[in-house]
A and B are shown apart, each in its own frame.
Chain A
Amino acid sequence: MRTIKFLLQKEFRQIFRNSAIVAMILVVPVMQLLILPLAANYEVKDINITVVDNDHSSYSAKLISKITSSGYFKMTGVKTSFKEAFKLIETDEADLVLEIPYGFEQRLIKEDEQKVFVAVNAINGTKANLGGAYLGTIISNFNSDVRMRIDVPGKFNSKPVIDVAPTNWYNPLMNYRVYMVPGILAVLLTLIGGYLTSLNIVKEKEVGTIEQINVTPIKKYQFVLGKLIPFLVLSLVVFTLGLLVAWLVYGIFPEGSILLMYGFVLVYLLAVLGLGLLISTYCETQQQAMFIAFFFLMIFIMMGGLFTPIESMPDWAKAITKFNPVSYMIDVMRMIVLKGSSFGDIKYHFAKILLFAVVFNTWAIFNYKKTT
């Protein structure tokens, strides 16, 4: 027990003396939390549209003004030929081109039907989908307007209308940041925790001080604990900082129990730090450790449900996600912060993460050999 106390003293002294590390640990997460949620936004708006108006009629003008006033689109210009407009798509100045054919207004009234042509830059599928859908809605609304104006009401039967009244729970303002911040915090914790521990043991190997440790009566588990605890404490500090930022800057205050959150974070950190230590025992140089840690962390984070929902993944990917500690963390963060879930709701997550923690750390202790 005393041994661990001495180990901890040494580790903390070394960490705090390294000002670069301290800066990284404290400053970088805060910065990321400030900037990233601002950037992470999947909302589709301000889509660039170019219109080719071959009709120059009052209808085409009305349609164009309806599009510009919708708030979804930014008009980048009205061109006289499709070819010109298409060039704008090639140079990324336009996302969509709407071509209104010659005789649009006249033919609509006479022939009851008119087509308009829309070309969409579909490289970004989501954008294309939503952009097309918005435009479609605007055109359809315009269509109803036209119909109202031309037609005498009653000429056609009024039909029953089913209204859909949406309510949004947990994030009523539909603020994307509220969704992202807990997840980003989870990711930051993972990066810092996993990284720093993976580099730590390897550094002692590289420099040679680890031999000095191996020759002393320090037991393996004492050594591993001595490495684990300082970073656990640091990570919790980062987590607290993150919560403060979330509250003060984004107004996000956890709905659920903060104690429960800390409890889960503690176990999660044990798992992540354990993973870092485990990687550390397999590497000879810091470079290797960093790369391998990065490789795993990157996969975990990408498949963790932060950027894209896990429900959208194919079954085999979902199966892999069951082994991904990050996905549990992101999930739990969102559940506790936004929905106020209780322990009963997250007990399975808890159990699985605990298992990860035990497995990784035991494996690390087992792998670290004082005698070869």
Chain B
Amino acid sequence: MKQFLTFVKKEFAHVLRDRKTLLILFGLPVVQILIFGFALTNEVKKSKIIIVDQAKDLASQKIITKIGTSQYFDIENTAMNRQQIEKQFKEGEIKLAVIFPEHFNHDLLHQNKATIQVIADSTDPNTANTLTNYLSSVIADYQTELNRKSQTPYRIIPEMRMLYNPELKGAPNFVPGVMALVLMLVCVMMTAISIVKEKETGTMEILLVSPFRPILVILAKAFPYLILSLGNVCTILLLSVFVLGLPISGSIFLLFAESTLFIITCLSLGLLISVNTESQQVAMLISLMGMLLPTVMFSGFMFPIENMPVALQWLSNLIPAKWFYIIVKSIMIKGVGFTAIWQETLILVGITLILLTVSIKNFKIRLA
């Protein structure tokens, strides 16, 4: 036991001495939370649009005023012909063009029907869709105002209740995601690199020749990162509660327990990578290119997994972060207990055991 502690102390010394890396390790989650919390959102607001008013009559003017007061639209200017519209779109600022035909009001009154043409820059389909929808609802509002006198019979009114996140904030969705991401990054990369570095510089041999079992060496290497990562979990939770105003609904103890499990999963992954690579560069490239992007993509917090092709959905099941993300969401946001997440926990345990077994097996093969 004492020997183990000696090792651990040495590893801590390595880690703590590297100020630059340490700074990044702690700064990373903070920056991510801040960016996600305050800068990134899919909400569409205040988009620049142009209006082509070929009618210039009462109805079109009223509608234009209504559009102008909407929080979603910023009427940039008006254009007169298709060429001008094209030019503005190409320059990149304008997302939508609204065109009122010449006899707008006339058509409305005499034919009971008029059409407004909307051209959307569908480079980003979601934005285009959302903006078109918003515009349609502005128009629909105007229609309702016109028809205020008649009351429709047989109304079905849906009463919507938004659960867990009534204000539809982004935080509940991404904070668990950030946790998964940061833990994964730190644990996998740092462990992999730390072990490979010893291999590269040759000091690994010295350690292996010592009377300590190799498994202790590895454990000692992983230990500081376990502690660091738990520290990161605390930071993220504190930020989330006090800066983002997102409270923890469930058991904090359970949250930490599951986090520890996930950290061990990531450390095992790092171990697996380190056993199979010889140089730091390769270890880094694998951790980053091979792991960061897939984790971001397949864990489910940036893009919904349900939308992906089935093959990719199956693939996402292999990503530990996906399961952890579900677990954290459940505990933190929904406030459920272990009974609701025991399956996911079991899966994580399973993945960890597989990773550890393969790593140790490979490790022994190398030594032989």
Which A residues fall within an 8 A CB radius of B? 18, 20-21, 24, 28, 32, 35-36, 38-46, 89-92, 108-109, 112-129, 132-133, 135-136, 139-140, 142-143, 146-147, 150-151, 156-172, 174-176, 178-179, 191, 195, 199, 203, 283, 285-288, 290-292, 294-295, 298-299, 302-303, 307-309, 311-314, 317, 320, 331, 334-335, 338-342, 345
Contact = CB atoms under 8 A, between A and B. Distances in A.
Interface residues of B, number: 108
Given A169-B122, A292-B20, A287 B280 contact: yes
Contacts of B21: 287-288, 291
Given A164-B136, A176-B126, A307-B302, A146 B163 contact: no
B155 A39 contact: no
30 contacts: A39-B297, A91-B340, A115-B159, A122-B163, A122-B164, A125-B168, A125-B173, A143-B156, A160-B108, A160-B147, A162-B108, A164-B115, A164-B118, A167-B119, A169-B120, A169-B121, A171-B122, A286-B280, A286-B284, A287-B21, A288-B21, A290-B288, A295-B24, A295-B27, A299-B31, A299-B35, A309-B127, A311-B95, A331-B92, A341-B90
B306 A46 contact: yes
A294 B190 CA distance: 13
A162 B153 contact: no
Nearest to A41: B307
Interface stretch (B41-49, B214-222, B358-366): B41-49
B122 A109 contact: no
Given A41-B308, A286-B281, 6 more contacts: A89-B163, A108-B156, A113-B156, A119-B161, A125-B42, A128-B162
A114 B156 contact: yes
Nearest to A95: B306
Contact of A32 (B124, B129, B168, B289): B289
Contact of A313 (B39, B89, B172, B294): B39
Interface in B318-340: 326, 329-330, 333-334, 336, 340
Contacts of B288: 191, 195, 290, 294
A166 B285 contact: no
B293 A36 contact: yes
B2 interface: no
A146 to B, nearest CB: 6
Given A90-B334, A160-B113, A164-B132, A307 B40 contact: yes
* Listed residue (A45, A114, A166, A335) with the most chain B CB atoms within 10 angstroms of its CB: A166
Contact of B147 (A129, A159, A311, A314): A159
A334 B193 contact: no
Given A124-B173, A146-B154, A160-B146, A118 B116 contact: no
B279 A113 contact: no
B158 interface: yes
A129 B333 CA distance: 18
Contacts of A164: 115-116, 118, 132, 135-136, 139
A104 B128 CA distance: 37
Nearest to B280: A286
A340 B90 contact: yes
B285 A20 contact: yes
B9 interface: no
Given A307-B302, A308-B40, A119 B118 contact: no
A166 B152 CA distance: 28
Nearest to A98: B158
